[in-house]
Structure 1
């Protein structure tokens, strides 16, 4: 087995785990909602995240997994444009919804303060609208990614190109190449900074709450720990995972758009693998922290 096939196996296993994991999460979220005849606000965001993860894995993970084995199912430029556009839209949806989830959980945890309580009620009331806004941002800001992809060809002498193997994104000149990259980077950094600040505030609240609980009996502590604290820890785990992967991925991206003038496939492979790693880890983290979901899955297996 050569290096390309080993890469394909790693990509394929990661993708399959992610697709099945997110599909199971989505099915059980719908099942719980039908049983309880309602869906909690955080569960709405988590379900939207699972959908976005599925699209991302199908448009990034699957083509990258099959390409090393010579399997290509993009035959026209339109196929490539559609795939790359959906890839970028789903990626922005993932980062935007993770940001929304961290902000929502931060406000929920801090809602003992009257000002935060008012904001919490507004976020709950307009949650669907907020998700739609994230969706519109994703659709609008990713349009440029659909302009330049074409079916794979010899990229040896092409400058300002991102090489996916099965598709190429060929930019007309240096200005467009760098401008597109920096705009995407700035948009993503804005989301990441916001989610990091929200998570830092969550950790601060949990730390203060832990100090308050020190003087109380363990039975009181267990009663007051509650679902919200567990959900908050889950959100922090999501953010830490995403920010870590984002940092490495965008270091490579920044190098590509500022130093490398040609899309080296090895850089792209590393970057795209990191981009869908979060989608594959998402179901594992969610199942580890969400007791209700884990309990339903265990009960179903039994």
Structure 2
């Protein structure tokens, strides 16, 4: 294995393991909340779905690509290639849509003192489930063509209009379908990125003017609820910033591939693949940094497990 492939393999493996472990921890935390039958806030309901979409995205992109780099080939047949291509693309799309939905809801929350924003917040709460279903149907419809054209075990060196993932290829019959698929995905991404960016800018402006107003009051009493909302808002703004950066590079390369190049080279694909899993891998770090409840639950769980091990050791030593 040459130096490039070794570095690429280790990098993908590290990012994949980080993403799987981090998102699994957060997903299990929310499952525990549901198991205890505690009611989640609307923002937490949206947030709780993100680790699952990230997990699917990393498992269907990071894992097979890491295995491919280390010489494991022919992992999938045609049917499994269609499934894994569809699962990755839909999970990636749901990740951007849920991040956008989360930022828009948080924007409505921090601006809810305005009756119009309060009305928008109420409507988003009311139609949250139909919104999830609509986004899933929309993204499935956008990506069904890619899944249908996914194949495995074919030599793509002479095939035009082909996306080569190494372990699977997506072959389009002509230039029109190739570019139509690329434009539809890029347009969808652009719409949601613009929406989440505008929502984040609005959040930052509200926080700025709120902080300026608070500083003008002598000896203000700190409002815990306001502090939590501020921390949650900052977390969401950072998530959006990461998303715009990572998936902006991903989408730019995607647009280049569909408009300039009729055949996608593997090095360019490697770069796009790397940035496509970066958001899922860094997502848990941001959540754990800003979400005090999850950090506290993990510390309590870890200390409880340690205490249980100490009790068992004490009992064994006492019996001996």
Normalising by structure 2, report the TM-score.
0.90
2:244 corresponds to which residue? 243
2:57 counterpart of 1:56: yes
- Say whether the 8 Å CA contact 1:80–1:167 is kept in structure 2: yes
Deviations 1:31-83 (A, max 9, x none): 23444621121111111111100110111111011101122463311111111
Deviations 1:69-119 (A, max 9, x none): 122463311111111011111011001100100001000111011221122
Where structure 2 has 5 or more consecutive residues not aligned to the other structure, the ranges are 304-320
Q: Please, which moves more after superposition, 128-137 or 217-226?
A: 217-226
1:32 corresponds to which residue? 33
- Say whether the 8 Å CA contact 1:161–1:171 is kept in structure 2: yes
Deviations 1:6-40 (A, max 9, x none): 21111011011101110100111222344462112
- Say whether the 8 Å CA contact 2:13–2:63 is kept in structure 1: yes
Aligned residues: 302
1:114 corresponds to which residue? 115
Where structure 1 has 5 or more consecutive residues not aligned to the other structure, the ranges are none
- 1:258, distance to aligned residue in structure 2 (A): 1.4
CA distance in 2, matches of 1:150, 1:139: 18
2:71 corresponds to which residue? 70
SS at match of 2:210: helix
1:228 corresponds to which residue? 229
CA distance in 1, matches of 2:89, 2:81: 12
SS at match of 2:221: helix
Q: Residue 296 and residue 224 in structure 1: after superposition, are their counterparts in 2 closer, same or farther (change >3 A)?
A: closer
Normalising by structure 1, report the TM-score.
0.95
- 1:210, distance to aligned residue in structure 2 (A): 0.9
Q: Please, which moves more after superposition, 35-44 or 45-54?
A: 35-44
| Higher Rg of the two aligned structures | 2
CA distance in 2, matches of 1:122, 1:222: 26
- 1:225, distance to aligned residue in structure 2 (A): 4.1
- 1:152, distance to aligned residue in structure 2 (A): 3.7
Q: CA RMSD in A?
A: 1.6
CA distance in 2, matches of 1:188, 1:218: 45
